[in-house]
Every structure is written in structure tokens, then in C-alpha cells.
Amino acid sequence: MSVTGGQPLPLSLDRLFDTPGLSGPVPAMARYAPDGRSIAWLRPADDDFERLDLWLCDLTNGSSRCLMDARALGEERSLSDEEKARRERLRVFTGGIVEFEWAGDGKAILFTLAGCLYLQRLTPGSVPEPLTEEEEFITDVRVGPKGLIGFVQDRNLWLRETDGELRQLTTEGGGSVSCGLADFIAQEEMHRFDGYFFAPDGRRVAFLKVDEAPIPLSHRYEIDAGGLSVHAQHYPYAGGPNARVELGIIDLDDGSISWLQWSGADSEYLARLAWRPDGSGLVIQRQSRLQQRLELVDIDLAGNARILHTETSDTWINLNDDFRLLRDGRHALWSSEQQGLRRLHRLNLDSGELTPLTPADGMVLRLIDVDEANGQVFVEGWFELPTQRHLYRVDLAGEAPPERLTQAHGSHQTQIAPDFATFVDRREHLTQPPCLEVRDLGGSLVAELLANRTDTPAHPYHPFLSGHRQAQLGELTAADGQRLFYRLTPPAESHDGPRPVIVSVYGGPGVQRVQDAWPPLIHQYFARRGWGVFELDNRGSGNRGRDFERPIHGHLGAAEVADQMLGLDFLATLGWVDMNRIAVFGHSYGGYMALMCLAQHPDRFRAAVSVAPVTDWLLYDTHYTERYLGHPDASGEGYAASAVEAWLPGFARARPGSLLLMHGMADDNVLFTHTSRLMHALQENGVLFDLMAYPGAKHGLAGRRTGLHRFRVIEAFLARHLEGDEDG
């Protein structure tokens, strides 16, 4: 059913990718001021949804205003290579002000724009003050204690001191060496984006020195509109060496650097790092090469190391950011999937004893904050349905069940106020695009920062509401009895007879697509064309715990595809679905899944669109690939069976021309080599296919014009295959 009645306003691809964005001014990061009286957040500009501006709400009176229009500082210059790579890893595809930090006194906000650091005071009439030279390009700004500000410039770590003096802390950065930057593996696969860490007392800085020289130098050929460029790249292919990582401590009093030995036997990865609350040392997390052992290690400033806790697995251990040292120095919070779903525990650092704080049948997704004075912890997760995401208050003593604080259904991303009295909630559900609210812990609304209600006539999507198709959530049962959740957007009612369906898939680990959350509006466009859209989170996908993920261990593209076939079996039970007109579409791991679905079941798919796919796991990186497939030297059969080329005969049995490949020609994550090798194999086997390559585009294929062109190509391709006769 449509949400409202009336004649639907036509929805074009041009409008879908135009300004203002049809989902409204979707809020980005939001942060409380240190005193909790204000909240700053980022939101798209009304006249350009690809530009983020900085907004501020005064919670004392509920008023909000645009604090900084990014246009006011002039046209953005080109990003540095480090910043381009960092934003690609962070999946930041907008411009303008993309991140900010509150000054320690809460009277100003720091932000970067085009590589220059600015300070914006909150006093009326204040203008942004540049803190670095415009001709230099900085990245990775961090605010430390006592007004210290750190940043990275030219692969070295710098400090802006309280008197405004700029001070270079390291000098070895350059070439294959960086100081204070998280390396490719840390950012892309470990989701650790920090390369330096201020001590709580502001007297020292821990930093990582990364040398990529052990990784053989390869050459990545980027093609853009101006021609071909060759980029030397230390890409850590599966089975090969990783970068060399050293841990240093800078004494800010005299600038001296001491080096700590962080690794132990088979400790390949320095995954996480945190200072002890008293600044007496560090607690790190280190992983073995195959990620089947994770150690929590205490290292004092003299370099003495003590293992506090060890976890092992016969598959792999997922990293998280839930470790938190408590003030007594003897206990910490620690989350673990050792029992299946991720539970939060209180860890005794002396005895190693774990006290569970959350139930075994619930999943903790993120530790938000700890209120030790009142004995409570705040986490996000699900303790009912996996399609929901809520904020819970947890008893630090483990004596009471979690209390849900977000009352409305849907997906909530939250932050707790410094005084633990309120929280800011980025809330969304199937019929509500992301909005931003402040509520007290009882659920009462304190301030509405951004309503983003589509039923308001001024909302960009309001004119299209009468044609909106309500997505439906449901569940199926996998072969091993586990619950599989799906989201189905039916086609417009104006189309008669059995209708085509697009299976929109990701299917890879670490990602959950099926949620009670605002779906991509491209699904609405497809629905108006008369095409249904079906999404299913197969086994192996994220936020469902150890047992749901582990069926993919040792062989990718098997259990995932089998579950997608269960989804097709379900579609066959719906009277309106034409099972002779099913297409599959995916990007990245979803691109790999689209290929594997078509190749393994060419009789069930009329067409497949594969964007930026991995085709051979030997060409992907160490940390991600070896986590699931092991080391190539010991797991050659798993790599061979998981490669797309193992299924080449299936492409030959598919309908001629039923595959569309798309890839960015400057992709530094899933290299264009993946698609070019598959192209060659398909050509050698006489398989017809379509190709669309994007000069200069990275893995995300970001940008309004690129997105518009990409979906125009996809639409035209699918229309040929889904709207022709059965044998077309």
C-alpha cells in the first residue's frame, strides 16, 4: 500500500540525485559540549547535499543555528593523498566540514576544511580563526588535555601548544614511513583510525610509527579523464608481509622518544591502544596473524609487559571498541562473543574473572559510556529483534537486567551527555529518515534538533509520498536453523501481472543491511518502475554474533549464496513475483555475491549487476582475507573454491549478456585488477557481458554525477533484461 493516497508525483533519477536530498538534511556526527549545555552536529546544506555545514544547539533554550557555512571559507582545494585515502576508509563521501572537535573549555569548536585547521569561537560575531598555514595540508586532528591539539602533516606528528606555538614531534615520516597515522590495514580492516594518543595528564603522547617497506612495492594504474598515472603502492596482498609497526612514547616536556616492545609470540597486529587512567602505562590489544587469538596486554612506561586476558577461537575473533578501564585500575569493561552473541562483561584484571553484565540472548553492538558514580553502563544493541537497535542502561554490578531507554522502534545511534542526564538520538525507521533529538533518560523529549518529517509539506520527499511503497520486514530459516531476516519493497500497484524483483545484496561479514531503518530511496525508484526489491542478510553478515558468522569460515560464497537461494524460494511463494525475471545487484562484497549468485545458479537469475567486486581473494588484503580463509599457504583449496573463476562454466550457461560489471579505475581497496582479470577470463571463454568503468573513481564511486550516471546505466541494463520477453 502507498503511505498516502492521490496521484503519485513522478520520481526521476535526476531528482533522486539532485539537491536538496530527498531523504532530507540527514544529520552526520553530533557531539555534546564538555559542559553538556550545547550540541554541535553536521548536516547537509539545503543547496548542496554533498556539502556539510556545522550547526549548534543551545540546550538551555532549545535554539539551533548554522554556526559555520563551509562556503564562507571559499572554494575547497584538492585533498592530500593521505586525506583522500583516510576519507575513503571512513566512507566519507561529502565535502565541506566533515569532522570537528570541541575545545577542552567548551567555548570553541575546531574543524578542518581543505586541510587547514580552524577555531570557531561561540561568541556572537566571531569568525573562524586559522590555526595552521593554508599552504600546508593537515589531517587527523585530535584535541588533547590542557588545550593541546595534535595533527599529522607530511606524514609526521605535530602539536599546537596552548600558547599557539606549532611544534613538530617526529621527523622520521616520509616515503614508506608515517608517524601518527593509522595504516591502510588498521583503517580499512581493523577500523582503528587513530595513530596517536594523548596521555590523560597531557604530559606524553603515544604514537605509532608505520613502515610499509616490508610490503613489496606494486604499481597501481589509475586512469582518469586526463590519462594514465602510475601509483607505487605497498598493498598487503593475502599471504604476504604486513607493515612494520613500532610503538613510541613522546615526552612533551623534553621531546624525547622512547620505544616500547608491544609484540609477543605470533603477534601480528596492534589492534587497539588505550592509556591507563593515571597515565602510568598503556593497555593494548594484539592479534595473531590468523586472528584466532586476541591478547589484552598491560605495558608500563619502562616497557614491562603483562598479559591481562586472552581469548581464542577456532575460527576468528572480531575486534570491537568496547574495552574501557575503570577508575580503580583493577577492573575493566570487556565485550566478547565467546558464548555466541556479544555480551558485555566486567573483567577483573588481577584474576582474569569475567562477570557478564548483559544476557546471553542479546547482542551488544557498541559501548557508549560509563557512569561509575551511579554504577551504570550505556550500550547500544538488540535484546529482542536483530532488526532493531536501541540504547540500554546496564547495571555495572550485573545484578539487574538491561533497561531500554529508546522507546520508539527502529534504529538508534546515541551519545550520552557528560552529566548522564540526557542523550542525543539519531533515530530512524522504515518510514522515518534519520532525525536528531535530545531526550532525558526517561524518554521525554528535551530538544528536537532536526525533525526531518516527511509528512511536513516543506520536506523534499513530501511531494512523492503518495507513491511511496512501504518496505516489509520478515524472516526465514536457514539450513542450520538460524533466523534470516529480509526486507522487501513491493512494486507499485499500478503495474499489473507478475513483476520482476531485484535482489539487492551485500552479504559479507561486518555489515547488516536488513534493519528497521530508512531504506535507500533508489528502491522506491525501482518500485515505481514496477520492480520489487528484496534484501536478505545471509549467514556470515554482521551484528548477529559468532555462530551466525562462522559458516563462511574457510569457504566464501557458499553458505551466503545458499541463503540467498532460500530468499528466492520465498519470493516464489508470492503471487505477484515473476520468477523468470529475477536480477541480483551488489557493490564490493555484494558485487562478489552478485557474481557468485549468477555463476552458481544461472538458471535462477535473468541478470546480474556487479560493482567493484572481489573476484580473486589472493588479490585482497591480509587482515580481512586471512581472517576468513586462513593463510594461502595452508588454505589453497579454500581460496580456489572461493574465487569467482572457479565458477566460470556458470557464466557460460547464463543468458548471453546478462552480466554488467562496474568498477572505479582508481580503486585502491578492491583494485581494478579484480575486474580486469575476470574480464579476460570471460573473454577467453566466449562469455558476453557489459562493462562500465569510471575514470578516477575510487571504491565508493562517490559523487552526485557518478551516482546518477551509474544508476542510469544500471536501469537501462536491467530494463533490457527484466522488461523484454522471456527469451530476450
- Contact status, residue 517 vs residue 410, Cβ threshold 8 Å: yes
- Contact status, residue 466 vs residue 4, Cβ threshold 8 Å: yes
Catalytic amino acids?
588, 667, 699
Detail the DSSP E strand segments found in 542-599.
Answer: 577-587
Half-sphere exposure of 524 (CA within 13 A, CB side): 27
Cis bond before residue 44 (omega within 30° of 0) = no
Other residues' Cβ atoms within 10 Å of the Cβ of residue 579: 15
DSSP 291-335: SSEEEEEEEETT--EEEEEEEE-SS-----S--EE-TTSSEEEEE
Closest CA to 614 of 504, 687, 507, 485: 507
- Contact status, residue 531 vs residue 722, Cβ threshold 8 Å: yes
Closest CA to 506 of 417, 588, 388, 582: 588
548: phi then psi, degrees, rounded to nearest 5: -75, -30
User: In terms of residues, how long is the chain?
Assistant: 728
Cell numbers for 3, please give them: 503511505
Cell numbers for 303, please give them: 616497557
> What is the separation, in whole angstroms, between the first and last Cα of the chain?
31
Write the Ramachandran bin of 419: left for phi over 0, alpha for psi from -120 to 50, otherwise beta. alpha
Alpha-carbon span 437 to 433, nearest angstrom? 13
* DSSP type of residue 8: P
Partners of 609 in the β-ladder: 585, 660
DSSP 215-246: SPPEEEEEEETTEEEEEEE---BTTS---EEE
Alpha-carbon span 464 to 488, nearest angstrom? 19
Task: Report the amino acid identity of residue 568.
Answer: L
Alpha-carbon span 407 to 311, nearest angstrom? 35
